Amino acid sequence: MSRPVHHRPRRHPGKPLPLVLLPPLLRAARTTPLLGAAVTTVLLAGIPAALSANLRLTDGVLLIRVATVLIALGAAFLLDDPAARTTEVAPTPRLLLHGLRALVTITITGTVWAAVLLLGRSAIAPEERVLLPESGLALEAGSLLLSVLMLAAAGLRVTAGTGGGLVAAPGAVLLLLTAMLLPLPDGVELFPQPLSPAWEPSRQLWAGIAGLAAIATGLLLREPRRQRRSPRVA
């Protein structure tokens, strides 16, 4: 009579939990929209750069801004978890899972955006290239991404973790276009031209949006109070 074999679960000794979680999270993530957006934006910025289009500064900034919006929309779906209904019972904290997804989102979109910025920069005429406000545009892009993540986090709450992008992508488009159409107070502009008087105030506005969006995203990604009070795992 042989002794029973005890199959122990596979462990990753010494490996931090986030690193263990990362590969399956990446496999499950909805990366196609971001991939599509990345290809589109790289082409969008790359073609004028390859053709040495010598764009004016304003046109180059417009190009980068359009690319920023597309990348942010593509990133809206990265927080979605198609298996949310089954992973709900796992003991891994929800904040950790979503935090990891958010971190991955920021890393990937940051990389794509940086590539687009470089391409867009080289598409601008050399004499105006030095005037490109990279840090200001980065602030815009970061705020936009955080706002999209905030909407996605809100979407995850109302779709049981599966459809954050369903709320974030249309919501972001609607909010952006409404903000562009709304009569803002004098001197306040969301997308002013570089070197214009409204540029500096708009950076403060974007910084404020980024701060609010970051706080809201953090709060929304936490475990819902209902679930914390009465865990479903008996």
Partner 1 sequence: MKETTRRDTTKRNMTERDQSGEGRSARNTAEPTGSPAPPTRHQARTGTPGHTRPPGHTRPHGAGPSRGAVLALARVEALRLLRHPAMLASLAGYLALWGYAAATGDPANRYPVLQDESRYLQIPLLLLAIGTLLAANLGILRGRRHGVEPLYEVLGLGPRSRTTAHLLSLLPAVALTAVLALARLGYLAAKPGAVGTVQWLEIAVPPAAVLLAGALGILLARLAPSPSVAPLVLAGLAAVTFVAAVQNTAAWRWLAIVAIEDEFAPPMPSELVGRPAGWHLLWLLALAGLCAALALLRRAPGDAPPAVQPGAGPLGTAAAAAAALAILAGTLQTRPLPANVVQARAEATEHPVAQQVCTTLDTTEYCAFPEFKGRAQDWDKVVRGVLARTPREIADARYAVRQRMFRGGVESHRDMPLPQAAWDADDLRAGTRRAVPVGTWWSEGDAGGDAAGDAVAEFSTLFAYRVVTASVPHAPRTDMVCGSRGVLVLWLAGQATDGTRQALRDLATRSSGGFSFPVLESATGLGFDSRERELAMSLLERPADEIGARVKASWAELASARTSTDRAAQLLGAPAPAQAPATDGACR
Residues with Cβ within 8 Å of 74's Cβ and at least 6 positions away in sequence, in order, are 33, 34, 35, 36, 37, 38, 109
Alpha helices in 29-163 (DSSP H): 32-50, 57-75, 84-87, 94-123, 126-129, 134-158
Q: Which residue in 177, 195, 207, 219 binds partner 1 (CB under 8 A)?
A: 177
Contact in structure between 118 and 42 (CB atoms under 8 Å): no
- Exposed, middle or buried by CB within 10 Å (0-12, 13-18, 19+), for 13? exposed
Rule CB under 8 A: is residue 40 a binding residue for partner 1?
A: yes
Give bridge partners of residue 124 from the DSSP assignment: 55
CB of 3 to partner 1, least distance (A): 39
53-82 residues near partner 1, rule: CB under 8 A: 62, 66, 69-70, 73-74, 76-77
Rule CB under 8 A: is residue 166 a binding residue for partner 1?
A: yes
Distance, CA of 66 to chain centre: 15
Nearer to partner 1 by C-beta: 86 or 135? 86
Rule CB under 8 A: is residue 137 a binding residue for partner 1?
A: no
Q: Tokens 């999270």 label which residue?
A: 25
Q: What's the chain's length in residues?
A: 234
Nearer to partner 1 by C-beta: 73 or 119? 73
Nearer to partner 1 by C-beta: 145 or 172? 172
CB of 1 to partner 1, least distance (A): 41
Nearer to partner 1 by C-beta: 68 or 217? 68
- Rounded Cα gap, residues 212 and 200, in angstroms: 19
Q: Which residue in 5, 181, 233, 234 binds partner 1 (CB under 8 A)?
A: 181
Residue 57 has which token pair?
């500064």
Rule CB under 8 A: is residue 171 a binding residue for partner 1?
A: yes
Nearer to partner 1 by C-beta: 187 or 231? 187
Contact in structure between 143 and 211 (CB atoms under 8 Å): no
Rule CB under 8 A: is residue 165 a binding residue for partner 1?
A: yes
From 94, 93, 40, 29, select the one nearest 66 (Cα to Cα): 40
Rule CB under 8 A: is residue 182 a binding residue for partner 1?
A: yes
Contact positions vs partner 1 (CB under 8 A)? 30, 32-33, 36-37, 40, 62, 66, 69-70, 73-74, 76-77, 163, 165-166, 169-174, 176-178, 180-183
